[in-house]
Chains A and B, each alone.
Chain A
Amino acid sequence: MQTEQLNGVVSKPAYSPVELNPKSSFHLFIAEQAVTGEMQSLFDGCGVDKESAVYSDASDSRLLESLAAMPLTGTLYLAGSEPFIWRVASHARQAGLRPDQIRMMVPVSRERHLFCCHCYQITEGVTYSPFICSGCGLSLEVTDHFARLHSAYFGYQANAEDSSDMPEKREVG
């Protein structure tokens, strides 16, 4: 199966420094833990209509309501872990936001969600590879192939070809 040469896959999200959208009439800042650092300075530098909120759950009903209430000319700024910001972005797309209305800060942690291609279970808090699937218990190779819809990376059994040939543990980030 695809192994180390999966590095450099283009489905892995790339993040660049976020700037305010000067033409937007409304700016919504959503953070997973706290509005700090880069997001705080963006918020402070934003003169017009703005709002910020912290949610631990990307599917919080109040968050969904505020996404649905966004104006057509609004911009959404997201900070937090990678699974959080992509899950909120996915809700935002459902609410009608366009990709160019959504701006993401560099994720605050390297933790990944991992999609097991054998049992379809998503394992959270993944920082190294191989990683044990929380669904079927297989040791999964963690790839850089990312699905926005699942907010997760693709994982497959690391030693399926030769059970004695388990790849060395490595950090992913």
Chain B
Amino acid sequence: MSVIDQIPVRVTAVKQVAPMIKEFTLEAIDAELVPFSPGAHVVVTMGGAENEPAYRNAYSLMSNPQDKSQYRIAVRLQEDSRGGSLYMHQQIAVGDQLMISPPANLFAPDWMAKKHVLFAGGVGITPFLSYLPELQQRETEFELHYMFRSKQTGAYSAELAETLDNHCSNYDADQGSRCDIAAVLSEQPLGTHFYICGPQSLIDSVRAIADEMGIPASAVHWEEFAGAKPGQPFVVELSRSGVELAVSSDSSLLETLEGADIAIPNLCRAGVCGQCVCKVAEGEVEHRDSYLSEPEKQSGQVMMPCVSRAAGERLVLDI
């Protein structure tokens, strides 16, 4: 139990919780699941049978962290999906097996905070659902601001409004309801920490307003739930083996390497954790990660294959 590799799980329930979001309940097949900390995620591996590509996506755990009997995740169908969310929505049904990684956490609450203010956009509500039991148990002050479009997302908004009462404010853009972020930020006491999970535009706007108001940058935390985005196809050469692989426009470099049975350590698959760093021998890189420092990016010697791609048609990696 001390060392955990991939955990085989069975899907025991699938629920449509919003027009574009499905919730999946996962139970361990041969062991107990481990408890996790609020904000943790797992990487789900799906597909990968014969002649079928394997997809790996990171999803926040949204169930109660103390519950070892099951994990729950919610998957939004992405319009520009490279396949993972589409696969979950169309192929996965009750009884199916999936492999998940052990939980990792890059978005934990700072328990030294006097107050927690949570901004969720759409399916970005999921990590906060795992915060709530512990926030309530610790009797810590918090507010949840939940922005969604009820024609697409908005899962759990009614339940949250009911159970959290005045701790939760819902904003349904399809009903013309908008969150006045500046007003929310300006009302907070000393010692408040802010957490944002949602589309890049939400993260950018909360951060910009907070910065403009003089809120200390170290009190603002965010998690990007978008993983790799599509790009131009290119060819990657592995200098040590001489192998050449074609990276299609809707596969990430990491997925292409994994597809060729080249194991690269990885955790977040979103350019944050730094585990999958690769050495670049030749070729220009389009850096899309938030892990490498600017000098490292400019050196052109390293890249994060989970999100970054070749800037040209060809890239040589020193692996």
Contact residues of A with B, CB < 8 Å? 21, 23-25, 68, 70-75, 95-101
Q: Which of A25, A68, A95, A100 contacts B216 (CB 8 A)?
A: A100
B209-229 CB mask vs A (1 if < 8 Å, else 0) is 001111111110000000000
Q: Which of A68, A70, A72, A95 contacts B215 (CB 8 A)?
A: A72
> Are A98 and B213 in touch, CB under 8 angstroms?
no
For the complex of A and B, list the 10 residue pairs with the smallest distance between their C-beta atoms, beginning with the closest: A96-B191, A23-B214, A73-B214, A98-B216, A96-B190, A24-B214, A100-B216, A96-B114, A98-B218, A101-B216
Residues of B within 8 A of A73 (CB): 213-215
Overall SS of chain A's interface: loop
What number of residue pairs across chains A and B have CB atoms under 8 A from each other?
44
CA distance A68 to B114 in the complex (A): 12
Q: For A26, give the chain B residue with the smallest CB separation.
A: B214
Q: Which of A23, A24, A68, A99 contacts B190 (CB 8 A)?
A: A68
Residues of A within 8 A of B136 (CB): none
Overall SS of chain B's interface: loop
Residue B57 at the chain A interface, CB threshold 8 Å: no
CA distance A23 to B190 in the complex (A): 16
Residue B176 at the chain A interface, CB threshold 8 Å: no
- B191 smallest CB distance to A (angstroms): 2
B151-193 CB mask vs A (1 if < 8 Å, else 0) is 0000000000000000000000000000000000000111110
Q: For A96, give the chain B residue with the smallest CB separation.
A: B191
- B112 smallest CB distance to A (angstroms): 8
Residues of A within 8 A of B218 (CB): 98-100
CA distance A95 to B190 in the complex (A): 8
CA distance A21 to B182 in the complex (A): 20
Q: For A92, give the chain B residue with the smallest CB separation.
A: B190
Q: How many chain B residues touch the partner (CB < 8 A)?
A: 16
Contact residues of B with A, CB < 8 Å? 113-114, 188-192, 211-219
Residues of A within 8 A of B217 (CB): 100
Contact A23 B188, CB 8 Å, known A98-B218, A98-B219: no
CA distance A95 to B211 in the complex (A): 21
- A76 smallest CB distance to B (angstroms): 11
> Are A72 and B212 in touch, CB under 8 angstroms?
no
Q: For B190, give the chain A residue with the smallest CB separation.
A: A96
CA distance A101 to B190 in the complex (A): 11
Q: Which of A23, A95, A99, A100 contacts B191 (CB 8 A)?
A: A95
> Are B190 and A71 in touch, CB under 8 angstroms?
yes
Q: For B217, give the chain A residue with the smallest CB separation.
A: A100
> Are B188 and A72 in touch, CB under 8 angstroms?
yes
Q: List 8 A-B contacts (CB under 8 A).
A: A23-B214, A24-B214, A25-B213, A72-B191, A73-B215, A74-B214, A98-B216, A100-B218
- B221 smallest CB distance to A (angstroms): 12
CA distance A95 to B112 in the complex (A): 10
CA distance A24 to B171 in the complex (A): 29
Q: For B115, give the chain A residue with the smallest CB separation.
A: A96
> Are B219 and A23 in touch, CB under 8 angstroms?
no
- A90 smallest CB distance to B (angstroms): 13
CA distance A72 to B219 in the complex (A): 10
> Are A23 and B114 in touch, CB under 8 angstroms?
no
CA distance A74 to B188 in the complex (A): 12
Residues of A within 8 A of B214 (CB): 21, 23-25, 73-75
Q: For A68, give the chain B residue with the smallest CB separation.
A: B190
> Are B189 and A72 in touch, CB under 8 angstroms?
yes
Residues of B within 8 A of A23 (CB): 211-214
Residues of A within 8 A of B213 (CB): 23, 25, 73
- B140 smallest CB distance to A (angstroms): 13
Q: For B193, give the chain A residue with the smallest CB separation.
A: A98
Most buried by B among A23, A98, A100: A98
Q: For B219, give the chain A residue with the smallest CB separation.
A: A98
> Are A74 and B212 in touch, CB under 8 angstroms?
no
